[in-house]
Amino acid sequence: MATFTSNMCGIVGYVGRSQAAPILLDGLRRLEYRGYDSAGVAIVDGDHVEMRKCAGRIASLAKLISQKPAAGSYGISHTRWATHGKVNDENAHPHFDATGKIALVHNGVIENYQALKEQLIQNGDTNFRSDTDTEVLAHLIGSIYGQLEGKDSKARLVNATRAALKQVIGTYGIAVVHSDIPNFMVGARRGSPLVLGVGKDENFLASDVSAIVAHTRDAVYLNDFDLVALERDKFEISSIDGAVGQHAVSKVEFSAEDIKKGDYPHYMLKEICEQADTVRDAMRGRLTYEECTAKLGGLNMTPPELRDVARVVLTGCGTALHAGRVGEYLIERLANIPVEVEFASEYRHRNTPMTERTLVFAISQSGETADTLGALRESRRKGYRTLGICNNVASTIARESDGGVYMHAGPEIGVAATKSFTSQLVILTLIGLLLGRMRQLSTAEGKRMIDALEALPGQIEEVLKLSDQIKSIAKKYVDVSGMLFFGRQFNYPIALEGALKMKEITYLFAEGHPSAELKHGIIALVRPDLPSIFIAPDDAVLSKNLNNIEQVKARKGPIIAVTSGNGAKQLKDLAADIIEVPDVIDCLSPVLTVIPLQLLAYHLAVELGRDVDKPRNLAKSVTVE
């Protein structure tokens, strides 16, 4: 059976004067949200590589190293999230080449690893210790290194890595060390993020700057097909073809303090509670009362170009896709422009009829989601203007798009996206407002939207005060087997998002549906042990929602209602539990109604004893297919 490396992993490398093990372990802890099936380090000590790796969390690796220390001032490390193959010590990274002198860590998938492995076996290399594609790459680099001539061992390792990667079909972010080459490391990327951290008499490699921000805030974000050779006091970046390029050193916008949990028991709860600030930051400096519109200079489009847009396509995956579904309602309401929402994974593989006046937005918190990046590239390949909405200004999507909007949400560590979702909703509202004011949206309507947007952070703070009430509700339903989520219009996507949060961190069955679809089959699921959550604010379709709620109640289905305004009064005899959020204009209600669903999933997961920040089988971002 084919066995591949991980889908989304954490890589940390260090070359400096300090002991490598504590730095590598600290970096891995900060990246554990990227993978927590197994972990390992390879540290060069004198003329040999000390390897420590095991299945399990970083804590298991730390215990192993405490029992069997690994000394040395340079090395590589990895935390794995497996997509195929067993989670065991042998498949954990790093991996050796046949000589045991080269060690390698890898994020990505080598699609042609089987053919490469067969070629190596035919050449007499049969000493494979694992089932992974990563070990094949390590052996390939080692084989080529052994065949190259020359006294400059650093150049040999660089050239061997370059030659091996030219044979690879697939994606990779890698870090490589050799026991015979002191204080020297090689890294490369294609389709999987890799960043170089620049310190004083020390340099770092990592798949995310959060791993190294405690040591340096100077970073170089590598591009696809970049290869970097780094030592303590210098580095050189070249292409896979050997051309040396210039790369700017960027300042990381957040600090190590920003990625700490503080007094919160979980990152997820911390990030839910940050939403008043992140929503405020998403619109900071982007609203103008004088013109009653939004200012989004990052779109890199002139007013005539924006007025010429005849169709919008929003694409993303998971939570970002749900934000896009809200965006569809928002932009069509505010700007009267037809909008389509596409699964990024489907968009990139099908022939979507589009005109030259179509504007595409790729939505991704990380800016590295493989399917969304693929959709962006496909859109641009076909000549459509394609913009990004992401939370990492140095991400691949941010760099490859024609422009876009930065979320300013700060680091999001919890695997289940929360604050990034509401930031995306606000940004899509700003886009709708901007396009609408260039068309039929009046000054009065524009001012009403701005007033409502400005009020949102305070209203979010009011919603967050409901946490204890929602915790009590969660305790009532700790024994249920699942939940149904219903909403209409702007809140139908919130039903989808609420169900996704419930699935992600409680592992309960959960489905989201339009309320009106209840009679078209879903009502067959209604029963006393399966609660229905209705998102039913006091809006134009409240009476329709009330009708659906009556039908569920008649069949003895427990009802939890998220409502506002007069909704609470009309629901008091229908719903077993009512969660009341502040009144807001209907197109902004998703920003408020989603937060109780985030809290409900969180509190229920805690009651069930789930690992909230590291739910099973999930990683924060899917960076390969």
DSSP 621: -
Partners of residue 106 on adjacent β-strands? 174
- Give the max Cα distance, the chain: 84
Cα–Cα distance for residue pair 622/294, rounded to 1 Å: 32
Q: CB count, 10 Å around CB of 444? A: 9
**140 closest CA partner among 79, 89, 98, 84:** 98
Question: Where are the alpha helices (H) located in 94-151, listed in sequence order?
Answer: 113-122, 133-147
Q: Among candidates 139, 97, 101, which has minimal Cα distance to 120?
A: 139
Kindly report the length of the chain. Answer: 625
Q: Which tokens is 34 given? A: 């990227």
Closest-CA residue to 142 (of 185, 99, 113, 110): 99
* CB within 8 Å of 87: residues ≥ 6 apart: 37, 38, 55, 80
- Rounded to whole angstroms, how far apart are CA atoms 393 and 190? 19
Catalytic residue set: 9, 620
- As a whole number of angstroms, the distance between CA 435 and CA 65 comes to 57
Task: Give the span between the Cα atoms of 47 and 429, in whole angstroms.
Answer: 59
Q: Which two tokens stand for residue 219?
A: 């970073």
Q: Report the half-sphere exposure of 117 (CA within 13 A, side-chain side).
A: 19
| Angle formed at CA 438 by CA 435 and CA 442, multiple of 5 degrees | 105
- Answer yes or no: are the C-beta atoms of 593 and 494 closer than 8 Å: yes
Find out whether 560 and 430 touch, Cβ atoms under 8 Å: no
Name the residue among 581, 591, 420, 613 with its Cα closest to residue 493.
591
Give CA–CA dist 47/43, Å, rounded: 11
